[in-house]
Chains A and B, each alone.
Chain A
């Protein structure tokens, strides 16, 4: 029975996606989208761990099962997909791209849930690829110029990430002489393999400098898709790193330091660029970049000081669950807010959104403060130098998140997406409220999943939040007094320097005021057209030459 349940985790969404292709089943399949993640939640709650099954005929030998960590990931990922599925199925049936959107949504769900129950490199990579490529359909769904640009950037990063992951897994599996993820973790992998694995998974994680796709994609996708992109799918990168990196077993100081630096860069970039954004979804996306920066820094600390991992590991899992629910609630809430008619319901949604926003900022007694306290306990074991820097980064991260949440609250009321999703407001509001409730109640249920929630020091937790509030108020006041207007830094700032297409951002946001022009308009670089084929007859000439030479040579040797 547990085996059947585990198999159903990725298969049910897959079957529903296939059913969408058949016109006579389309209605039923579309109606069943909210239930597609049910096996995942059921499996996470009922399957005893650890459990492993082998399916030798599948792929190059597939193994499915559930680890302790996998179970927690499966639980929060499944819940988020369940809620997002409920919201996604609320789209208007008249939308011509709806079937395609739902199909991509289900495929991405299958990949995301499947990779959590995969125990070998082949099924993990297969589900990872299904998730990444299917999400293209989620990002491009609106078909506006901004969608198309975001999707193009997204797919470029996906392809690069997939290739790095492929090479990394191939190198790792070959050196470790195993295809089981758990055995890769204990093996001595080559530097090249580790670099490729971290790059491949890092693209999904979205920490700087591999984050450029993230703010674009999470802004462009419809709200339910953004919720799972930001809440669930980027955690697949974290899950992969937890699965293959020798965390707690071996010190890899160079990798640790690189990841810590990348993490700190993410936190700083997210704060500075995020607060200038005018689209609430972009603000949330940058907040994700910052949070994943914290995750990357914590993994780096684990690689630097393996002794700290027993504390850091559970803290990271808690942080992942907390971020998934809070960020999911916020994105679903933005969708519900935009769909709700002005009035009581809209105010209710806006009010509810304050709960996950406070949790993200790390206000006392929220899941965010617990996760951060747990992380701080682990980071305390990192020797001075890096340890101090990391502790500081954690506090700065809270401060930055508070600022970002303030910014979010500031820009939300004016948010009106180009194509406001009409109707079915209740179906969008309910999942948002459910996610909010789960986010608020996470700490109450957490001890049943993993037995480690540290005591929260309310004063310590409140300080960065209050500091952020004060800073935000101060900066806003100063800007108003001085009549200073700050332009929006284009999302995916690095790309803005090289691509003309980011200009379309101006058309994306209804309230956009053109930011500072980053560089003079340049004609679009013409892709060097390759000649069709310079050798239509050259080969034949070469062949004739070879033939003549061969004849002469042969004549010399023949008796």
Chain B
């Protein structure tokens, strides 16, 4: 039965639908392209806000297209969808503004912006996917649409990073597909339902369900950059700054983490997953990733590489929060989906500005940059302190809930992991701040390559302000934390 609901379809189409148009616009007509881009990004944000109000009121929005008996393409908006959709819609608007400024006068902008909106469209599809089959479809679209962005500059390093990216993500996609098919054969459905769809299968087929879980998590873990499946992410830092923002904050790694959340909560159900004994190993994998990513970040001098390893570590917080199998930790993990996105996009946009304005790419070149680019470094510093987990910034809110959740479920060792991670975060972020603010530049300061216009300056300032707001106003009803509490109350009610 075909079921049509205009709101989810419209949200999908605001990004997917404009991609062909953007491909067709020649590079010279940049004003037209920018207008279309910004108009649809704004429209999408407005639609997502409307959707969130509807979902908060308890309205059901679902569009359904049968493919074959028992297998439908479903777009369905629940509270968790809104969380991810709101993140990607907000950051898409900001990243688009940034990208327009960043890529001024570069060639192949039609290709770039076309694939960019395809990526964001796939992310909206992932957010609103109503079953694993639909999720898988958009997961693969995202993989393919991101590749041209990673290799956008066409350099040898970019092509190499692109190959690595494809090797990992296509492999991961295969695993997800296998898991999905197997689950479908076994359970007859792959719908996302709060507290799982498995019913009595957990008693009759525990071994197979564990295997399927491993397949799905390994496949999703590639995009979520769980160690040892993370190597594509640091390599992909050769891509332009807006693409890094897309990879690290808006879409790609978040798609993996979001998928893990969906599988644990809405396919298996948290209680079933805990009964099967799969959440413990997942938590262990997350902890290994948290520590390993931070250790690698310590050794990097290249700013974007350091940030990339930091993402490896930080995104695992989301997985950890889910795997701890308790409501408080889950709130922390899901809130970190938003918080990490805001923090990391701020850092990558600032890193992009440093490279664009002064050609600074390494931490060791940043001496005294706080004096020459104070606004950029202020935003960066705020984000770095948030990542360490200092109040009143966003990262503190997630960390507090993860720690409290660990203690509440008698897994106080989590606090030790969090402390170790915070210590490592401090060890690789504070020296950057010291270098930028308190060290004198070694030689003559790097000459200004180009001015930072409002298009490059405003987006990181806005995201930095959001990092502050998400922490300072954490208890307000429409904060990321407030919304995740709403989601978790549905899962654990």
Give the interface of A toward B (CB within 8 A).
21, 56-61, 96, 100, 122, 125-126, 129, 133, 137, 140, 143, 148, 151, 155, 159-160, 162-163, 166-167, 170-171, 173-175, 192, 529-533, 535-540, 542-544, 546-547, 550-551, 553-554, 557-559
Residue of B234, B390, B391, B415 near A533 (CB, 8 A) is B234
For A542, the chain B residues whose CB sits under 8 A away are 228-229
B404 pairs with A535, CB closer than 8 A: no
B419 pairs with A540, CB closer than 8 A: no
Say whether, besides A170-B404, A543-B172, A530 and B231 are in contact (CB < 8 Å): no
Residue of B228, B408, B475, B481 near A535 (CB, 8 A) is B228
Q: How close is B92's CB to chain A, nearest CB, in angstroms?
A: 28
Residue of B178, B227, B392, B426 near A551 (CB, 8 A) is B178
Residue of B179, B185, B476 near A558 (CB, 8 A) is B185
A530 pairs with B437, CB closer than 8 A: no
For A133, the chain B residues whose CB sits under 8 A away are 385, 390
Q: How close is A421's CB to chain B, nearest CB, in angstroms?
A: 19
For A137, the chain B residues whose CB sits under 8 A away are 437-438
Query: Is B164 among interface residues, defined by CB-CB distance under 8 A?
Result: yes
Q: How close is B131's CB to chain A, nearest CB, in angstroms?
A: 20
A58 pairs with B473, CB closer than 8 A: yes
- Residue contacts A-B, CB under 8 angstroms, 18 given: A58-B475, A59-B475, A60-B397, A60-B474, A122-B392, A143-B440, A155-B430, A166-B403, A531-B299, A532-B296, A532-B300, A535-B227, A539-B168, A540-B231, A546-B175, A546-B214, A550-B178, A550-B211
- Tell me the B282-307 residues at the A interface (CB within 8 Å): 295-296, 298-300, 305
Q: How close is A275's CB to chain B, nearest CB, in angstroms?
A: 33
B472 pairs with A170, CB closer than 8 A: no
For A539, the chain B residues whose CB sits under 8 A away are 168, 227-232
Question: How far is it, in angstroms, between the C-alpha of A124 and the C-alpha of B374 when the chains are bound?
Answer: 29
Question: How far is it, in angstroms, between the C-alpha of A542 and the C-alpha of B226 when the chains are bound?
Answer: 12
For B437, the chain A residues whose CB sits under 8 A away are 100, 137
| Identity of the chain A residue whose Cβ is nearest the Cβ of B181 in the assembled complex | A554
Q: How close is A459's CB to chain B, nearest CB, in angstroms?
A: 51
Residue of B378, B399, B438 near A21 (CB, 8 A) is B378
Question: How far is it, in angstroms, between the C-alpha of A413 and the C-alpha of B182 when the chains are bound?
Answer: 85
Query: Is B460 among interface residues, defined by CB-CB distance under 8 A?
Result: no
Max chain A CB contacts within 10 Å: which of B412, B418, B475, B476? B475
Q: How close is A64's CB to chain B, nearest CB, in angstroms?
A: 13
Q: How close is B232's CB to chain A, nearest CB, in angstroms?
A: 8
Q: How close is B409's CB to chain A, nearest CB, in angstroms?
A: 10
A125 pairs with B430, CB closer than 8 A: no
- Tell me the B130-186 residues at the A interface (CB within 8 Å): 164, 167-168, 171-172, 174-175, 178-179, 181-182, 185
Q: How close is B168's CB to chain A, nearest CB, in angstroms?
A: 6
A543-B168, A543-B222 known; 8 other A-B pairs, CB under 8 Å? A59-B471, A160-B423, A530-B296, A535-B228, A537-B231, A539-B227, A540-B164, A540-B231
Query: Is B407 among interface residues, defined by CB-CB distance under 8 A?
Result: yes
Say whether, besides A57-B473, A58-B472, A539-B231, A547 and B175 are in contact (CB < 8 Å): yes
**Residue-by-residue, is B392-436 near A (CB-CB < 8 Å gives 1, otherwise 0)?**
100011011001100110001001001100110010001000000
Question: How far is it, in angstroms, between the C-alpha of A531 and the C-alpha of B296 when the chains are bound?
Answer: 8
B391 pairs with A173, CB closer than 8 A: no
B215 pairs with A550, CB closer than 8 A: yes
| Identity of the chain B residue whose Cβ is nearest the Cβ of A97 in the assembled complex | B438
Residue of B181, B227, B229, B474 near A543 (CB, 8 A) is B229
| Identity of the chain B residue whose Cβ is nearest the Cβ of A148 in the assembled complex | B438
A126 pairs with B404, CB closer than 8 A: no
Q: How close is B429's CB to chain A, nearest CB, in angstroms?
A: 11
Question: How far is it, in angstroms, between the C-alpha of A542 and the C-alpha of B230 when the chains are bound?
Answer: 11
Say whether, besides A159-B423, A171-B412, A535-B228, A57 and B175 are in contact (CB < 8 Å): no
| Identity of the chain A residue whose Cβ is nearest the Cβ of B235 in the assembled complex | A536
Question: How far is it, in angstroms, between the C-alpha of A57 and the C-alpha of B407 when the chains are bound?
Answer: 25
Q: How close is B208's CB to chain A, nearest CB, in angstroms?
A: 6
B171 pairs with A174, CB closer than 8 A: no
A540 pairs with B407, CB closer than 8 A: no
For B430, the chain A residues whose CB sits under 8 A away are 155, 159
Question: How far is it, in angstroms, between the C-alpha of A472 and the C-alpha of B374 when the chains are bound?
Answer: 52
Question: How far is it, in angstroms, between the C-alpha of A535 and the C-alpha of B438 when the chains are bound?
Answer: 35
Say whether, besides A125-B391, A533-B231, A543-B229, A59 and B474 are in contact (CB < 8 Å): yes
B208 pairs with A57, CB closer than 8 A: no
Range of interface residues on B (Cβ < 8 Å): 35 or more
For B222, the chain A residues whose CB sits under 8 A away are 543
For A543, the chain B residues whose CB sits under 8 A away are 168, 171-172, 175, 218, 222, 229
A535 pairs with B298, CB closer than 8 A: no
Residue of A148, A155, A173 near B404 (CB, 8 A) is A173
Max chain B CB contacts within 10 Å: which of A21, A122, A192? A122
Question: How far is it, in angstroms, between the C-alpha of A540 and the C-alpha of B231 when the chains are bound?
Answer: 8
Question: How far is it, in angstroms, between the C-alpha of A540 and the C-alpha of B218 when the chains are bound?
Answer: 11
B171 pairs with A540, CB closer than 8 A: yes
Question: How far is it, in angstroms, between the C-alpha of A57 and the C-alpha of B175 when the chains are bound?
Answer: 43
B415 pairs with A170, CB closer than 8 A: yes
For B259, the chain A residues whose CB sits under 8 A away are none
Say whether, besides A58-B475, A59-B475, A163-B419, A550 and B296 are in contact (CB < 8 Å): no
**Residue-by-residue, is B317-357 near A (CB-CB < 8 Å gives 1, otherwise 0)?**
00000000000000000000000000000000000000000
A174 pairs with B231, CB closer than 8 A: no
| Identity of the chain B residue whose Cβ is nearest the Cβ of A23 in the assembled complex | B374
Say whether, besides A159-B423, A539-B229, A543-B171, A126 and B299 are in contact (CB < 8 Å): no
B175 pairs with A122, CB closer than 8 A: no
For A126, the chain B residues whose CB sits under 8 A away are 390-392, 396
For A57, the chain B residues whose CB sits under 8 A away are 473, 475-476
Query: Is B389 among interface residues, defined by CB-CB distance under 8 A?
Result: yes
For B168, the chain A residues whose CB sits under 8 A away are 539-540, 543
Question: How far is it, in angstroms, between the C-alpha of A553 and the C-alpha of B182 when the chains are bound?
Answer: 10
For A59, the chain B residues whose CB sits under 8 A away are 391-392, 471-472, 474-475
The 6 A-B pairs of least Cβ separation, nearest first, read: A126-B391, A530-B299, A539-B228, A170-B403, A174-B407, A543-B171
Q: How close is B277's CB to chain A, nearest CB, in angstroms?
A: 18
For A550, the chain B residues whose CB sits under 8 A away are 175, 178-179, 211, 215
Q: How close is A9's CB to chain B, nearest CB, in angstroms?
A: 16
Question: How far is it, in angstroms, between the C-alpha of A59 and the C-alpha of B476 when the chains are bound?
Answer: 8
| Identity of the chain B residue whose Cβ is nearest the Cβ of A62 in the assembled complex | B475
**Residue-by-residue, is B191-224 near A (CB-CB < 8 Å gives 1, otherwise 0)?**
0000000000000000010010011001000100
For A531, the chain B residues whose CB sits under 8 A away are 299
Question: How far is it, in angstroms, between the C-alpha of A530 and the C-alpha of B300 when the chains are bound?
Answer: 9
For B234, the chain A residues whose CB sits under 8 A away are 533
Question: How far is it, in angstroms, between the C-alpha of A538 and the C-alpha of B168 when the chains are bound?
Answer: 11
Q: How close is B385's CB to chain A, nearest CB, in angstroms?
A: 7
Residue of B175, B182, B230, B419 near A167 (CB, 8 A) is B419
| Identity of the chain B residue whose Cβ is nearest the Cβ of A121 in the assembled complex | B400
For B419, the chain A residues whose CB sits under 8 A away are 163, 166-167
For B231, the chain A residues whose CB sits under 8 A away are 533, 535-540
For B438, the chain A residues whose CB sits under 8 A away are 137, 140, 143, 148, 151
B389 pairs with A166, CB closer than 8 A: yes
Q: How close is B477's CB to chain A, nearest CB, in angstroms?
A: 8
Question: How far is it, in angstroms, between the C-alpha of A122 and the C-alpha of B407 when the chains are bound?
Answer: 17
For A532, the chain B residues whose CB sits under 8 A away are 296, 299-300, 305
Question: How far is it, in angstroms, between the C-alpha of A492 and the C-alpha of B260 when the chains are bound?
Answer: 49
For B472, the chain A residues whose CB sits under 8 A away are 58-59
| Identity of the chain A residue whose Cβ is nearest the Cβ of B222 in the assembled complex | A543
For B404, the chain A residues whose CB sits under 8 A away are 170, 173-174
For B179, the chain A residues whose CB sits under 8 A away are 550
Max chain A CB contacts within 10 Å: which of B164, B229, B389, B392? B392
Q: How close is A124's CB to chain B, nearest CB, in angstroms?
A: 10
A530 pairs with B474, CB closer than 8 A: no
A557 pairs with B164, CB closer than 8 A: no
Question: How far is it, in angstroms, between the C-alpha of A336 and the C-alpha of B318 when the chains are bound?
Answer: 54
Say whether, besides A58-B472, A174-B404, A550-B178, A557 and B208 are in contact (CB < 8 Å): yes
